[in-house]
Every structure is written in structure tokens, then in C-alpha cells.
Amino acid sequence: MWEAWGYRQAQAADDYRRIELQRLRWDRSNLWSSEVRGLEERVRDLERLLGRKTMQVEILKDALAGSDSK
């Protein structure tokens, strides 16, 4: 009887470890996905900012070129 009890406890502990490991893997993958989405959003923001700054530089170049020719 006690042997069966010990086996059930060991089995329950193994099940718990297996479930906990799956949860940790899931948490890690969700954290990774969340982090990737955040970084992708940051890259999009920086690309937009770079585009705006590039347009500003072009406008200023044209303005300077126009003032030099006068």
C-alpha cells in the first residue's frame, strides 16, 4: 500500500514538473513574441522619423540652393 502511495506521489510530482516546464516554455515564447512586437513597433517609429528628417533635409537643401541662385 505505501509503495503505491509513494509511486502516486512521484507520478504527481513528475506531472507537476512537466506542466510547470510547459508553462515556462509558453511564458518564454509569449514574452519573446511580445518583445519582438515591441521592437518591430519601435523600428517602424524610427523609420518614420528617419523619413521625416530626410524630407526636412531635402527641403532645406532646396531652400539653400534657391537662395544661392538669387
CA distance 2 to 14: 18
Cell numbers 537643401 correspond to what residue? 61
| pLDDT in the model for residue 6 | 72
Mean pLDDT by groups of 10 residues along the chain of 70 residues: 69 88 83 85 95 95 83
The pTM for the full model equals 0.54
Tally of structural domains, the chain: 1
The pLDDT assigned to 68 comes to 74
d(CA 3, CA 54): 75
pLDDT at 35: 84
Range of the structural domain that residue 27 is part of: 1-69
